[in-house]
Amino acid sequence: MMPDTTQTVPLQALKLWALQHHRNEIERAILFYAPDHFDWDDCDCFEERRLNEFKVVIVNLTPALLRSPRYMNSMIDDKIGDAVNLLKRSRRPRK
């Protein structure tokens, strides 16, 4: 969860928190939803791709949105949901 005292935390620290929280959630999603045929390189590529997409979103946020715990938590949850759906779609059909 996002820190409660967002009004006193510098914006750069909030961006770093969001990136780290997103990275942790992506790693958790990979752990539980990655297809069996994924190797470590596939997982690393997937994680980096999702983090790069998230960095673009973070850069364009206004300070008011960065300081909003409700918005940030729901945005991260939404991005993780997209990642889980993508991982589920990449599963090979059973033979």
Residues sharing a CB contact under 8 Å with residue 87, sequence separation 6 or more, in sequence order = 29, 30, 33, 34, 35, 46
d(CA 87, CA 11) in angstroms, rounded, equals 31
d(CA 30, CA 39) in angstroms, rounded, equals 11
Q: Which two tokens stand for residue 52?
A: 């790069």
d(CA 4, CA 76) in angstroms, rounded, equals 16
pLDDT tens digit sequence for 62-81: 888 988 888 998 999 999 99
Q: Which two tokens stand for residue 78?
A: 């939404």
pTM exceeding 0.85: no
Q: Which positions of the chain have pLDDT values less than 50?
A: none
